Structure 1
Amino acid sequence: MRSINGWILVGLTGVAPGPASAQVALQPVTVYAQPAATAPTGFDAYKIWLISRARREGVREATIQTSIPSLQLNNRVMELDRAQQPQPRTSNFMAPFAPYRSEHVTSSLIQRGQTRFAEHWPRLHQIQTSYGVDPAVLMAIYGHETSYGAITGGFDLLQALATLAYEGRRRDFFETEFLATLKLVDIGVPRWRLKGSYAGATGYPQFMPSVALRLRADGDGDGYADLWSNEEDGFASIANYLRDAGWKRGIPWGIAVRTPATLDRAAIRSFITAPKCAKVYQRHSRWLTMAEWRALGVMPYAGRPIPNSELVTLLEPDGPGATAYLLTNNYRAILDYNCSNYYALSVGLLADAIAGR
């Protein structure tokens, strides 16, 4: 018995049984026995797992069969993800806000935002009436996320998300987003539309697929929320997101202020640990009313007035002596969109510039 290329060869030789007079010599015979099937490994095995999960989640079989078996790992996605993994911090040094602001609140973004703002104003006004969200903030997020629709990402979402889930750094998160993408296909979003960033953000609002499923909104009244080719649906969807995150109608996001040299920062320190993005919120003071901040000598430079009874927190992105900001709960709704103080500040400042405030 021997094996060639995984097949078992059995040689049969000898004499046929029976009476001696009837015995016939047998010639050597080779019988090929097919080996046992090899179980899938690696990404092929993971795709089988994704198929089983999709079935349990109620995804249509046709969507499963046209979407999962042909998936391949995307090496570029893995490279980009590994490059973004957080590095251990060796100090408490925080980069200054000014360079970030210069990059994300540019004259080009302001001018293009103002043009789009004027073009879409009738629909933006309707969206503001419906959702209560400042339309300039919607435009600023649109500009910040995609440069007003110019950069929405070209990665195939299913391939990118399956790759990230398989890689395993945040498997539960990316696997959930992969399944949400299949559900978008199930409700009629064309497979070819589902492109975005390497990390899965998609469409004009740059929503993750699970958010797109839950909070997409119809902004132009045609009965369909198209996040990939309809800007007004994109604006309404961003407004729906911010309202869901706690946006308060008629209140500014925040205001630039100057702080007095006598401000006792130990007395205004917050001891609350946020349930998420704790390091971001660590930089905020405790909540005080606008009137209480004025009494402490914290004075606005300019901008939309915040009611004296409104609770706000102080953020000093560049430390004592530099421009600081008093921030309302609406700032925290922007943080929910992207949990970075510099992101949220730049969105607010870009919005004010677009609206001419």
Structure 2
Amino acid sequence: IRADRGQKSFKLTLDEFLRKRGASTIVSRGKKMKAQNAALFASIEKRYGVPAGPLIAIWGMETGFGSFMGKEHTLSAVATLSFDCRRTEYFTDQFMAALKLVERGDLSINAKGAAHGEIGQTQFLPKNVLKYGVDGDGNGHVDMVGSRADALASTANFLRGHGWSAGAGYQPGEANYGAIQGWNAAKVYQQAIALMGAQIDGVSQ
């Protein structure tokens, strides 16, 4: 609950936020990730219309490309927040969604993630896994933790579900920026994803 009350990094300026989140490292590593996973990103773009840049920016921003996905017990986190009167209904829905994921074998009962119940390499809330989760590697499960293909395809599916249109731009004022706004409500985060995505994709801003 303390974590839910104290999100401070979104109050920074864009430059401060980029420095705090290590944007230059995300971009440089992201370009390498794009090259190393070219077939995966090509497949995702063909299916969902989302290019590699914004997906990689989200992946790097959320978990350092899967290197740190959180240390809070997911079921405990969302159960605790469901008793916090500020957003009881919202987190009760997340708790029920997490139980559904456990029931269908897509989430370990001991899974760990972020303080608000976000899980996996791009930090999906459980309800969004149910709605947008994709079996990107074809193994019969949506594994947001262990499969980068699942996590990235699911992220692309989320963006498409929030209005992403293939071939349109994603900078502020362009058609696909609204989909990035759907991912995170913080203006500085949205700007950072658009900026880093363009740098990774090598497109002019």
TM-score, L = length of structure 1 = 0.53
Unpaired runs of 5+ in structure 2?
none
Which amino acid in the other structure matches residue 185 of structure 1?
V
2:137 alignment partner, one of 214, 220, 223: 220
1:159 and 2:76 correspond:
yes
Counterpart in the other structure of 1:135: 52
Match of 2:154 in 1: 237
Q: Based on CA coordinates, which of the two structures has the bigger radius of gyration?
A: 1
Distance 2:94 2:73 in 1: 13
Q: Which has the higher contact order (CA 8 A, sep 6+)?
A: 2
Contact 1:123 1:220 in 2 (8 A): no
Q: After TM superposition, what 4+ stretches of structure 1 lie above 6 angstroms from structure 2?
A: none
Relative to structure 1, the CA distance from residue 110 to residue 95 in structure 2 (aligned partners, 3 Å threshold; closer, same or farther) is closer
SS at match of 1:250: coil
Partner of 1:327: 173
Report whether the alignment pairs 1:83 with 2:38.
no
Against the structure 1 CA distance between its residues 95 and 124, is the aligned structure 2 distance closer, same or farther, given a 3 Å change threshold? closer
Matches within 5 A, 1:32-47: none
8 A contact 1:219–1:232 mirrored in 2: yes
Q: What letter matches 2:68 in structure 1?
A: I
Matches within 5 A, 1:45-60: none
Q: How much has 1:95 moved relative to structure 2?
A: 5.3
Q: Specify the alignment match of 1:96 in structure 2.
A: 13
Is the helix fraction higher in 1 or 2? 2
Which of the two has greater strand per residue? 1
* Alpha-carbon distance in structure 2 between the residues aligned to 1:342 and 1:81: 18
User: Once the 2 structures are TM-superposed, how far is the Cα of residue 148 of structure 1 from its aligned partner?
Assistant: 0.8
Q: Is the 8 A contact 1:105 1:350 kept in 2?
A: no
Does residue 180 of structure 1 match 2:26?
no
SS at match of 2:69: coil
The 3 A distance-change label for structure 1 pair 112 and 190 is same
Number of corresponding residues: 201
1:356 partner amino acid: G
Question: Contact (CA 8 Å) 2:133, 2:154: kept in 1 or not?
Answer: yes
Aligned to 2:201: 355
> Structure 1, unaligned stretches of length 5 or more?
1-77, 86-93, 255-325
The CA distance in 2 between the partners of 1:105 and 1:354, in whole Å, is 14
Percent identical = 33
CA distance in 2, matches of 1:82, 1:345: 23
Match of 1:53 in 2: none
Is the contact between residue 132 and residue 249 of structure 1 (CA under 8 Å) also seen in structure 2?
yes
The aligned runs of 1:207-356 (5 Å cut-off) are: 207-254=124-171, 326-356=172-202
User: Superposition RMSD on alpha carbons, in Å?
Assistant: 1.9
